[in-house]
Structure 1
Amino acid sequence: MEQRYAVIDVETTGKGINGNRITEICIVLLEGKVIRDKYTTLVNPDQHIPNYITGLTGIDNDLVHDAPAFDEIAARILEITEGAIFVAHNVSFDYNVVRNEFKAIGHNFVRKKLCTVRLSRKIFPGLYSYSLGNLCTSLNIQLKNRHRAEGDTDATVVLFQKILEEDPDLSIINSFLNIRSKQATLPPHLKAEQIEALPASPGIYLFKDQKEKIIYAGKAKNIKQRVISHFYDKKNKEYLLGQKTHTIDYEVTGNELIALLLEAEMIRKHYPEFNTAQKKPVIPFHIISYTNRRGVLQLAIDQSYSADTSIEFYYSRADAIAALEELCISFELCPRYCNLQQSTARCSHYKIKSCKGVCSQEEAVEAYNLRVQKAMESSLNKKMSYIIKEKGRTGDEQSFVLVKDGMYRGYGFIDETTQVAQSEDFEEIVRLQTHTYHTSKIITSYIRKRGDEVIIPL
Structure 2
Amino acid sequence: MYAIVDIETTGHSSKITEISIFIFNGKKIIDEYTTLVNPECVIPPFITNLTGISNAMVGGAPKFYEIAKTVQEITKDCIFVAHNVNFDYNIINQEFKELGFEFKRKKLCTVRLSRKLIPGLKSYSLGALCNSQNIVIKDRHRAKGDAEATTILFEKLLKLDPLLITINSFLNPKSRQATLPPLLPKEIIDNLSEKTGVYYFKNAKNEIIYVGKANNIKQRVISHFYDKAKKEVTMCLEIANITFKETGNELVALLLESAEIKKIYPKFNRAQRRSQEVIGLFSYEDRNGVLHLAYNRLKLITNPLMKFHNLTECRLFLEKLCETYQLCPKYCHLQTNVTTCFHYQIKQCKGICKDEETAKSYNKRVLKAIESIKYKSENFVIKEAGRTKNETAYILVLNGIYKGFGYAKATEQPKNVNDYIKIITSQKDNNDVKRILNSYLKNNTDTSYNLKKEELIQDTFDLFAS
Q: RMSD value over aligned CA atoms?
A: 2.8
Distance change (3 Å), C-alpha of 1:445 and 1:109:
closer
Pair member with larger Rg = 1
Distance change (3 Å), C-alpha of 1:305 and 1:57:
same
Q: How does 1:84-233 map to 2 (within 5 A)?
A: 84-233=78-227
Structure 2 CA distance, aligned partners of 1:106 and 1:408? 51
Structure 2 CA distance, aligned partners of 1:179 and 1:301? 57
Distance change (3 Å), C-alpha of 1:408 and 1:145:
same
- Residue 10 of structure 1, CA deviation: 1.2
- Residue 199 of structure 1, CA deviation: 1.0
Match of 2:242 in 1: 248
Match of 1:63 in 2: 57
Match of 1:271 in 2: 265
Task: Encode CA deviations 1:362-414: one digit per residue, 9 max, x unaligned.
Answer: xxxxxxxxxxxxxxxxxxxx973332111011111111112222211111111
Match of 1:52 in 2: 46
Task: Encode CA deviations 1:281-322: one digit per residue, 9 max, x unaligned.
Answer: 44574879xxxxxxxxxxx99753799x75x744489999xx
- Scaled by the length of structure 1, the TM-score of the pair is 0.77
Distance change (3 Å), C-alpha of 1:106 and 1:129:
same
CA contact under 8 A between 1:16 and 1:236: conserved in structure 2? no
- Residue 155 of structure 1, CA deviation: 0.8
- When structure 1 is superposed on structure 2, of 102-111 and 212-221 the one drifting more is 102-111
CA contact under 8 A between 1:210 and 1:246: conserved in structure 2? yes
1:9 aligns with 2:3: no
- SS of the equivalent of 2:46 reads helix
Structure 2 CA distance, aligned partners of 1:80 and 1:257? 52
Q: Give the counterpart of 2:410 among 403, 409, 416.
A: 416
- Scaled by the length of structure 2, the TM-score of the pair is 0.75
CA contact under 8 A between 1:385 and 1:423: conserved in structure 2? no
Q: How does 1:371-382 map to 2 (within 5 A)?
A: none
CA contact under 8 A between 2:378 and 2:398: conserved in structure 1? yes
Structure 2 CA distance, aligned partners of 1:26 and 1:225? 36
Structure 1 CA distance, aligned partners of 2:220 and 2:74? 38
1:442 aligns with 2:439: no
Distance change (3 Å), C-alpha of 1:91 and 1:71:
same
Structure 1 CA distance, aligned partners of 2:206 and 2:300? 32
Task: Encode CA deviations 1:397-435: one digit per residue, 9 max, x unaligned.
Answer: 111112222211111111111142011012112111111
Structure 2 CA distance, aligned partners of 1:180 and 1:305? 58
CA contact under 8 A between 2:377 and 2:450: conserved in structure 1? no
Paired AA for residue 405 in structure 2: Y
Number of equivalenced pairs: 382
Structure 1 CA distance, aligned partners of 2:214 and 2:229? 20
Task: Encode CA deviations 1:33-66: one digit per residue, 9 max, x unaligned.
Answer: 3222222222333333222222111112322333
- Residue 180 of structure 1, CA deviation: 2.1
Distance change (3 Å), C-alpha of 1:72 and 1:442:
closer
CA contact under 8 A between 2:279 and 2:295: conserved in structure 1? no
1:259 aligns with 2:256: no
1:31 aligns with 2:19: no
- SS of the equivalent of 2:149 reads helix
- Residue 453 of structure 1, CA deviation: 5.5
Task: Encode CA deviations 1:316-361: one digit per residue, 9 max, x unaligned.
Answer: 89999xxxxxxxxxxxxxxxxxxxxxxxxxxxxx948xxxxxxxxx
Percent of matched pairs sharing the same residue: 49
Could you list the runs of 5+ residues in structure 1 that have no partner in the other structure?
289-299, 321-349, 353-381
Distance change (3 Å), C-alpha of 1:407 and 1:105:
closer
Match of 1:327 in 2: none
Structure 1 CA distance, aligned partners of 2:281 and 2:38? 60
CA contact under 8 A between 1:284 and 1:313: conserved in structure 2? no
CA contact under 8 A between 2:402 and 2:429: conserved in structure 1? yes
CA contact under 8 A between 1:233 and 1:239: conserved in structure 2? yes
Task: Encode CA deviations 1:249-301: one digit per residue, 9 max, x unaligned.
Answer: 2110000110011011012111222222223444574879xxxxxxxxxxx99
Structure 2 CA distance, aligned partners of 1:151 and 1:118? 21
Structure 2 CA distance, aligned partners of 1:72 and 1:285? 56
Distance change (3 Å), C-alpha of 1:431 and 1:41:
same
Match of 2:460 in 1: none
Paired AA for residue 212 in structure 2: G
Paired AA for residue 15 in structure 1: H
CA contact under 8 A between 2:393 and 2:406: conserved in structure 1? yes
Task: Encode CA deviations 1:157-196: one digit per residue, 9 max, x unaligned.
Answer: 1111111111111111111112221111112111221111
Structure 2 CA distance, aligned partners of 1:196 and 1:267? 25
CA contact under 8 A between 1:203 and 1:219: conserved in structure 2? yes
Structure 2 CA distance, aligned partners of 1:146 and 1:52? 15
Distance change (3 Å), C-alpha of 1:98 and 1:285:
closer
Match of 2:288 in 1: none
Paired AA for residue 432 in structure 1: S
Match of 1:378 in 2: none
Match of 1:392 in 2: 386
